[in-house]
Amino acid sequence: MTAHLDRVMHGGLDPAELTALGIAPGDVVDLSANLHPDGPPPAVVEALSRVDVSRYPAADAGPLRDAIADVAGIDAACVVVTPGSAAAIYLVLAALLRDVHTCAVFAPTFGEYAPAVHAAGGIVRRVETHAPAFDLEDAPATPVTVLCNPNNPTGRYLDRTEVEAVLARTGHLVIDAAYEPFAEGRWEADDLVRAGAPVTVIHSFTKIFAMPGVRLGYVVTRPDIARAIAVRQPPWPVGAHAIAGGLAALDVTDARVATMPALHDRRRRIEAAFIAEGVRTTASRANFVLAEVGDASRFRSAMLRRGFAVRDASSFGLPRWVRVAVPAEAEMARLLAATVDALRETT
């Protein structure tokens, strides 16, 4: 287990790196982790401040599970609360691969799918989609398939008919919907579960509510698979802070969704800045841009010196590309100027 944790890279600031460069963390805008730029909703922060840590939380996170089910319009027996969507990936694949062995993964994509398949004793069938196209027309026939939609890092968002085409070639489809709340032209992957399809959907509170420190996610699936996932968790899978924060977040979901049109406008402005410099980008419909800058490591360093942390996509197998999350409007002018400067310095 330690080996794969050492191998998989994720976004976020590295305090040791900043110290070595003489940069204070407060001087850097982190656009490497794809969090909502408004930060945690005030209602969530308030709810966390009022948690009584002297009492045990619900052993099965029942209050939050039931609230999620109510919002989703699905039976609570179909919902499992997990300590983050990364944990959900491992739990779901362990449950699904107990009787089968092969799982298809479309690359480039989030790095934890393959280690989770291996941890479950399964075999990864890697399907290259070649950025920026992320073309799934040659989806293989496999017992289990994992699909990140919108995809990380390309931002490609498949509509329902495209997802159903993948579903038609697999025994069970796992959809990682961590970025679904951000998706332009969004449809609900949970609709496939409601329709009785062999689909499991993984959700995250981390990205849309900018609360990665809480570690909170959930799964929507058939009741029998939900039970197989739940028995793989210990009692109290999430703490009182996660339950309180999740309940508060659900109450302000509509307010977060209302910010998306402005966020997508800012994404298009970032894309336009890259394109104006002769840099191609993917057709992202999420809250980030993937751009081919030539030397991702050099560009990242140049941006860090200008006060922005972007994601070097080398760990996705894309050493010429960087991923840039959409910031708040207050940071846009400075980001666009830094992007042009860094491109001219490094290319």
281 and 314 share a domain? Answer: yes
Query: pLDDT (tens digit, 9 = 90+) per residue, 223-232?
Result: 999 999 999 9
Instruction: Please give the average per-residue pLDDT across 50-69, as a whole number.
Output: 97
Give the confidence band of 11 by pLDDT, cuts at 50, 70, 90.
Answer: confident
Does 244 lie in the same domain as 197? yes
12 and 118 housed in the same domain: no
Alpha carbon distance 82, 91 (integer Å): 9
Domain count, the chain: 2
State the pTM of this model: 0.95
Examine the domain organization and report whether 141 and 287 are in the same domain.
no
Q: How many angstroms separate the Cα of 198 from the Cα of each of 181, 207, 296? A: 22, 26, 39
Same domain, 158 and 286: no
The length of the chain is: 347
Question: Does residue 6 have a pLDDT over 70?
Answer: no
| CATH number, domain containing residue 209 | 3.40.640.10
CA 263 to chain centre: 17
- List, as one string, the DSSP characters of 119-161: HTT-EEEEEE-TTTT---TT---EEEEEEESS-TTT-----HH
Cis peptide before 108 (omega within 30 of 0): yes
Q: What is the CATH number of the domain that holds 263?
A: 3.90.1150.10
**Domain match, 217 and 271 both:** no
pLDDT range class, residue 56, cuts 50, 70, 90: very high
How far CA 55 is from CA of 84, 241, 242, 247, 343, in Å, comes to: 22, 11, 14, 18, 53
Same domain, 180 and 229: yes
Q: How confident is the model at residue 196 (pLDDT cuts 50, 70, 90)?
A: very high
Give the pLDDT confidence score for residue 1 in this predicted structure: 36
Q: Do 279 and 311 belong together in one domain?
A: yes
In 31-87, DSSP assigns E strands to: 79-82
Let me know whether 10 and 140 are in one domain: no
Residue 30: closest CA among 314, 317, 315, 303: 303
Identify whether residues 190 and 111 lie together within a single domain. Answer: yes
Provide the residue range defining the domain that includes 239.
42-255
Q: How confident is the model at residue 23 (pLDDT cuts 50, 70, 90)?
A: confident
- Condensed to tens digits (0 to 9), the pLDDT of residues 203-240 reads 999 999 999 999 999 999 999 999 999 999 999 999 99
Judge whether residue 31 has pLDDT over 80: yes
- Which one of 189, 224, 255 terminates a domain? 255
Q: Which residue among 229, 255, 281 closes a domain?
A: 255
| Percentage above 70 pLDDT, the chain | 98
Is the confidence at residue 4, as pLDDT, over 60? no
Same domain, 284 and 234: no
> Mean pLDDT across the chain, nearest whole number?
94
- How confident is the model over 312-344, as pLDDT tens digits? 999 999 999 999 999 999 999 999 999 999 999
Residue 7 — very low, low, confident or very high, per pLDDT cuts 50/70/90?
A: low
Which of 255, 280, 313 is where one domain is finished? Answer: 255
